[in-house]
Amino acid sequence: MGLLKNAETRLYNLLRLYRWRAVNKLLDTNSQTLLDIGCEGMFFHDKLKDRYKVTVSDYCPKNSAIKKEDIQNLSFEDKSFDIILCQQVLEHVPDPPKAILELKRVAKKQLIISVPYEPFFTFFRLLIWEKEHLWAITPKILKFYLGEPAYEHKIFLKTYYLAVWRFD
């Protein structure tokens, strides 16, 4: 593994751990079911499986434990999960508004979303646009579709926006 790739992997793992610490404090402890959409490596699943019945899903599952789902057209019933985690996903999908409304539809109590916080995210990355990012999802867009969050915060040098919406 090259030096640059190794540094990138270490930074990604550091960011994921930082996000975990922020999200863990926000989770509804009275809930039972949780959907982690866009879970990729099951990092959060491994930390949550003893507290919740966790369903993990991704558009391109990396193993058989991950359910294949399109966030823009979820197969789940309305209000299927007490908690929905959607971290660093919306900027990758072709139709973010449709995805946001789908997340709201399947969330019963709590919807937790994190997205890169623009423009600071791009400045932090030295003005290099993340090639997989199709959109810049701003807090204003999320609030337009979901209303005001119960909690919002800019984390990790203000490069990520983290918010929680409650529906109970």
The ranges assigned to domains in the chain are 3-166
Verdict on whether the full-model pTM lies above 0.75: yes
pLDDT score of 17 more than 50: yes
Smallest CA-to-CA distance from 161 within 71, 144, 143 is with 143
For the beta carbon of residue 139, count every other beta carbon within 10 angstroms: 16
pLDDT band at 4 (very low <50, low <70, confident <90, very high): low
Ramachandran bin of 143, using left for φ above 0, alpha for ψ from -120 to 50, beta for the remaining angles = alpha
The pLDDT tens digits for 95-124 are 999 999 999 999 999 999 988 876 555 545
> CATH number of the domain at 3-166, out of 3.30.470.10, 3.90.1170.50, 3.40.50.150, 3.20.190.10?
3.40.50.150
Mean pLDDT, residues 70-89: 94
pLDDT score of 18 more than 80: no
Give the CA distances from residue 78 to residues 10, 28, 44, 135, in Å, rounded to whole numbers and listed in that order: 38, 19, 23, 26
